[in-house]
Amino acid sequence: MAKDVKMVARQVLEALGGKENIYRMSHCATRLRVELHNDQKLDPEAFDTIPGVSGYFHQSGQHQVILGTGFVNKVYAELSNQGIAETQEDREDEKRETNRTKAQQLTKTFADIFIPVIPVLIATGLLMGLRGLLINGFGMELSNTILVLSQVLTDTAFTFIPVLVTWSAMKKFGGSPVIGIALGLMLVAPQLPDKWAVSFGEAEPLLLPFFGFDIPITGMQSSILPAVFMGWLAARIEKSARKYIPEVLDLILTPFVTLLFSLVLGLVMVGPLILGIENLITSGIMYFFELPFGLGGFIYGGAIQFLAITGMHHTIVPITVKMVAETGYDLINPIGTAAIAGQAGAAIAVILKVKNRIKRSNMFGSVIPAFLGITEPVMFAINLPKVKPFFFGCLGGAVGGGLASILGIAAAGTGSTMLPGLLLYIGDGFFQYILVILVSLATSFTVTFLAYKEKSTAQQPDLNYQVNHG
């Protein structure tokens, strides 16, 4: 039966304390994110009785109502039609930003930079999978022209990833995005020696004399952290330039000053240092996942959802993007999939024990996004509030993650997990990937079904209260 968008929007608005109580509203793939003027007017228990609402939780100052993929867009649009503003003044945003810890601020910064880029990377990964399906699945032989065109589709985004990152970073830090695009293009300019050609001894870096030292300069193809730094640096330089350059000359001089100093400081001086740090981090991550007996995968598969609770899982995105850009494979993808499958298996076991039909139906709506690679609804709406199922889900993720490491499977792309991620494994690790999902699901489902007992509402621990007020 179709959900009544207007009715759900009206009841959600009432539970939030009315239109006048909403300070700011936005949404992600599955959740309505709301900040309130007065949290005391909120009625969190009302969300349990609204058909179509899969759950509610409070995190980082936001009240998040889980509505599910697609449906959240309709409810958001209905609320927006009532004149509820999406954004407020920058001063208020800055004030709320200072209330976050340094780790939360860093995580939010990475999330704001990479979330706009991720859809392109997902599309590129699926295109890689589609090509693998045609060649390895159906045995097709592609002509040289078609093969080259497919490589344009699959390789361009990762080769020129600094362009996407500097654009997004400039936008995040308050600079002009078009300057970020130009700066990113300069980082991968064909006039510079290709970073990979220099690494393999096929080309020599440019040498810039500086106080008796020769500074090697190369392009920054596939680099992530230097591009983030360049976007931040350029935004700072642009803002400072606008303070001192007369308005009549602003159109000409501000972009000139911004690009000149950003490129010199970033590409020649600070950029190589950050690139070295990035390479050390990536090498350490690669070593961790290559630990014997699948130990790295076991630890990551069991622990990643703890990072997801705080949103810090977004800090993994730059690593996976760089990994695919440099090697063509993502070792983390199957392990992250195992973690999602673990939470899904635990939630299914919980649902089977719920006797209330309406509540069971709402809870089931939170499980479906997990099979599409979105874990937050099932985790926040079902497993985390009940505590034990969350840990049982982490156990399933750990077992599946360890198995993925032992099997040595990796995705030929990044971004897509669970069922959409199947395309990334066609021709190499397809059945092993399915095995990892099934093992994670079965482990968490079995343990949860045997060890978890559904309690009455009065006995349920109010985890949101404990987290935010304890």
The tokens describing 66, both together, are 């889980």
357 in the same domain as 225: no
415 in the same domain as 320: yes
Residue bearing tokens 């078609």: 146
CA nearest to 92, candidates 37, 129, 11, 41:
37
Write down the H helix ranges in 61-194: 71-80, 90-98, 102-114, 118-132, 144-159, 161-172, 177-187
CA nearest to 180, candidates 188, 190, 189, 170:
170
191 in the same domain as 209: yes
**CATH (domain of 39):** 3.30.1360.60
Q: Which of 254, 270, 289 is the last residue of a domain?
A: 289
Give the span between the Cα atoms of 100 and 97, in whole angstroms.
Answer: 6
Contact 165, 453 (CB under 8 A): no
DSSP β-ladder status, 62-66 and 55-59: antiparallel
365 in the same domain as 265: no
The answer to whether position 141 is within a domain reads no
The tokens describing 303, both together, are 């622990």
Q: Give the model's confidence band at 463: pLDDT under 50 very low, under 70 low, under 90 confident, else very high.
A: very low
Give the span between the Cα atoms of 235 and 259, in whole angstroms.
Answer: 10
Q: Active-site residue among 7, 28, 207, 269? A: 28
DSSP β-ladder status, 31-36 and 22-27: antiparallel
444 in the same domain as 300: yes
445 in the same domain as 301: yes
Maximal C-alpha separation, the chain: 77
Ranges 79-83, 127-131, 349-353, most confident: 349-353
The answer to whether position 298 is within a domain reads yes
236 in the same domain as 186: yes
Q: What confidence tens digit (pLDDT) does each residue in 154-186 have?
A: 888 877 888 999 999 999 998 999 999 999 998
The answer to whether position 392 is within a domain reads yes
Question: How many structural domains compose the chain?
Answer: 3
Q: How many helices (H) does the chain have, and how many strands (E)?
A: 21, 6
338 in the same domain as 272: no
Q: Higher-confidence residue: 376 or 60?
A: 376
Q: Any catalytic annotation for residue 394?
A: no
Q: What angle do CA 165, 166, 171 make, to 5 degrees?
A: 100
Residue bearing tokens 């999978």: 129
266 in the same domain as 173: yes
The answer to whether position 105 is within a domain reads no
The answer to whether position 152 is within a domain reads no
Q: Which of 257, 289, 321 is the last residue of a domain?
A: 289
Q: Which of 47, 72, 99 is the last residue of a domain?
A: 99
Percent of the chain with pLDDT over 90: 21
Residue bearing tokens 């343990």: 447
300 in the same domain as 195: no
The answer to whether position 371 is within a domain reads yes
311 in the same domain as 418: yes
CA nearest to 111, candidates 274, 317, 305:
317
Q: What angle do CA 85, 91, 93 make, to 5 degrees?
A: 60
Tell me which DSSP letter residue 214 carries. E
Domain housing 48: 5-99
The answer to whether position 143 is within a domain reads no
**Residues in the chain, overall count:** 470
- Cα 359 from chain centre: 29
Give the span between the Cα atoms of 363 and 54, in whole angstroms.
Answer: 5
306 in the same domain as 235: no
The answer to whether position 11 is within a domain reads yes
Q: What confidence tens digit (pLDDT) does each residue in 230-280 have?
A: 899 999 999 999 888 888 888 889 999 999 998 888 777 776 777 777 778
Q: What confidence tens digit (pLDDT) does each residue in 188-210 have?
A: 888 888 876 776 677 888 887 87
Q: What confidence tens digit (pLDDT) does each residue in 305-344 have?
A: 887 775 566 667 777 777 777 777 888 899 999 999 999 9
If you write DSSP's letter for every residue of 408-428 in order, what string do you get?
T--BSSSS--TGGGGGGGTTT
The tokens describing 259, both together, are 């690009």
Contact 240, 272 (CB under 8 A): no
Nearest-10 crossing angle of helices 144-159, 161-172:
30
The tokens describing 294, both together, are 């699948």
